[in-house]
Chain A
Amino acid sequence: MEALFHSSPFSGYVYPNETVIPWTLLIVVYPYLTGLVAGAFTISSLYQVFGFHQLRPVAHFALLVSLCCMIVVPLPLLLHLGHPERAFNAMITPHITSAFAVFAYAALFYVILLMVETWFVFRPYIVHEAQQARGVLSWIYRAATLGSYDVSENAMRYDRKWLFALAIIGIPGAHGLHGYVGFVFGSLKAREWWSSDLMPAIFLFSAIISGTALVIVLYVLSCKLRKVPIDLPCLKVMAYSLWGFMMFTLLLEGVEFASLVYRGREGYDVIMQFVEGPLLIPFFVLQFGIGSVLPLAVITFFIWRGANDRALVVGVTASAVLVLLAVLMMRYNVVIGGQEISKTGKGLLAYHPPILGREGLLATAIVLILPPILLSVLVRFLPPWHDQEQKA
């Protein structure tokens, strides 16, 4: 039987109730997933709204990546709740002063927006398949047309207008949703490690880099699996975007950390003890060194070299994998790290995640693997590379 709670050992003085860490791995995964949603959507929007035509090969794919992550976002939250069956209470009687209260509405709105945008993007394909496919598939596609079979040039022009509008609404939608996740943490005055005005901005920029990195990795992987050549100009634009947004992210994180240290408010000593001790490897080595500085250097090297070969693919993909790790570590260091510093400002806790159980490593890994699984199914129904194949 699963233990009722997991207590953490501590040093110094911590409040007695603090020894059971309230938010665990699932709450690390939740902002990670919403970040991937916002980041992947950014890539899609760069093509859809801002006319980055080099991103055409991944624009629709990025949209599906975003959708698959977004569908999974509520899962870690629901798994974490003591009473998931009461989750709708937050929607039925939202307590308007809570930063969490409108999350369900905001997330629902955004899922619908993503679904509608996906529908518009794939409408010609859905109509085509509804007319061609046989058996059960034909029924699925016919239902997916929502009764609209018009794919004339006139209708397509109309669709494009809608797509543009949806992508424009989606930009503040996706980024607002994630900035707001940052606010959930940043607005809490009880924890010095979280309580920062920069938190929403840091969450947002790290979200964009993680989503971009995920699209890079999945795009390269999909090309390998489908045995088609990787579009190098497209990969380059994604790598450049990653580089630019990483610069911002690092700058913001640096400024935030410097302010925390410079202000040196109550509890500063324990925070420094934490930073120099337990945080040394997860923060300085994994998140900052291997996850941020190294990929930044690698991508800088490729930009400088102007490479256009296999080395570019390997270098950029490896960098993207590292960025994905760095952002996961960032979420971990914020969510878990914040709770390892006691509210007393006089003690530290050491959280060791259990392997099994509802909030254990295994459950977390399953939640993390769900979006790619969902994506691998979805791309069979709505191939994001369909139009390129037709053109080829």
Chain B
Amino acid sequence: MADDEKLEQQQQERREFLSWLGSALACGAAVIAGDAATLQAVAAGEQTAAAQMPPSPAIPGYDWSKHRWAFGVDATKCIGCLRCVEACKKENNVAPDAHHFRTWVERYVTLEGEETARIDSQADPVNFAASGSEGEYRFADRYKDAKVAKAFFVPKLCNHCTNPACVQVCPTGATYKTEDGVVLIDHTYCIGCQYCVQACPYGARFFNAEKKATDKCTWCYHRITKGLLPACVEVCPVGARIFGDRNDEQSVISQFIHNNRVQVLRPATGNAPNVFYIGIDEDVS
């Protein structure tokens, strides 16, 4: 009799344990099901930005809901002096080497008799050989003996896209789109998986080996929120870089976009960049 009771008790405990186990597995299944809901949300093109928007940053006199920043590049004006690259490196403490850039300049040269452009940037070894150091930037005069049919420079930087692929793939939300249109990274929250580096079609992101987190152009957020221009725009001697607030119809960027036939890079990605170009051709992507 006692044995029967013991057996009954054991079976009871067993049932309780299995019931608990069932609940645990159901919770797990719910997580997976939640994932399916996520995929639907992504497919429907829902942006989480609005729902998860952090409060406006505590910058005196700055209200990010009142601005919509945008950037313009007039490639017809760029002379490839690379002061923008140097200014950016200094302003933002970017590693002074050949592999980490928040902004860079590309040179497109089509020689006579050739159909496609030869492309290099300041990070090309030939150009570093000319400058003598990875911390100094200049374009080597490598085509001086060639017959050049067409040549132009194209400044590049983060496009602060309206639908940023980098923000979409960030697993923690460490990189996010601000209400004033800038894509930023919280270096204290980034886990350094570099999924965003992969997702960016423009090669704008890199891994900051010192911070062990991803890094990229912020349009000098620390400056623009104080009414200053990004460092690269500030130093450009020819006005090839234009920056401003699209909410202000009279701003230089609004005028630039209205008065020119502008284009963005890789529109087919659906990222909807906010850096607008004039004076580039089909070779540029």
A98 touches B206 (CB 8 A): no
A97 to B172, CA, bound (A): 10
A95 to B42, CA, bound (A): 11
A236 to B170, CA, bound (A): 45
Q: Which A-chain residue is minimally distant from B85 (CB atoms)? A: A16
A76-111: which residues lie under 8 A (CB-CB) from chain B? 77, 80-84, 86-87, 89-90, 93-103, 105-106, 108-109
Number of residues on chain A facing chain B (CB within 8 A): 66
Q: Which of B21, B42, B173, B204 contacts A93 (CB 8 A)?
A: B173
- Contact of A169 with B29 at beta-carbon distance under 8 Å, contacts A5-B207, A82-B192, A98-B195 already known: yes
A190 touches B191 (CB 8 A): no
B223 within 8 A of A: no
A89 touches B189 (CB 8 A): yes
B98 within 8 A of A: yes
CB distance from A251 to the nearest CB of B (A): 26
A112 touches B28 (CB 8 A): yes
Number of residues on chain B facing chain A (CB within 8 A): 67
A116 touches B21 (CB 8 A): yes
B92 within 8 A of A: no
A150 touches B11 (CB 8 A): yes
A190 to B10, CA, bound (A): 58
A4 to B206, CA, bound (A): 13
A191 within 8 A of B: yes
B202 within 8 A of A: yes
CB distance from A97 to the nearest CB of B (A): 5
Q: Which of B29, B48, B191, B203 contacts A97 (CB 8 A)?
A: B48
CB distance from B201 to the nearest CB of A (A): 4
A82 touches B48 (CB 8 A): no
Which chain A positions have C-beta within 8 A of B170?
A: 95, 98
Interface string of B172-208 (1 = CB under 8 A from A): 1110000000000000011111110111111111110
B11-41: which residues lie under 8 A (CB-CB) from chain A? 11, 13-14, 17-18, 21, 24-25, 28-29, 31-32, 34-35, 38, 41
Which chain B positions have C-beta within 8 A of A148?
A: 10, 13-14, 17
A266 within 8 A of B: yes
A82 touches B169 (CB 8 A): no
Which residues from chain B sit less than 8 Å from chain A, CB to CB?
7, 10-11, 13-14, 17-18, 21, 24-25, 28-29, 31-32, 34-35, 38, 41-42, 48, 98-101, 104, 106, 119-123, 156, 165, 167-174, 189-195, 197-207, 209-213, 269-270, 285
**Beyond A7-B99, A102-B34, A345-B285, 14 extra complex contacts between A and B, CB < 8 Å:** A5-B209, A17-B99, A22-B198, A23-B198, A82-B192, A90-B172, A95-B172, A96-B38, A97-B42, A97-B167, A116-B25, A149-B10, A184-B195, A189-B269
Q: List 18 A-B contacts (CB under 8 A).
A: A15-B156, A16-B203, A22-B194, A82-B190, A82-B213, A86-B172, A100-B195, A102-B31, A105-B28, A105-B31, A105-B35, A108-B28, A112-B25, A146-B17, A150-B10, A155-B14, A158-B14, A343-B201
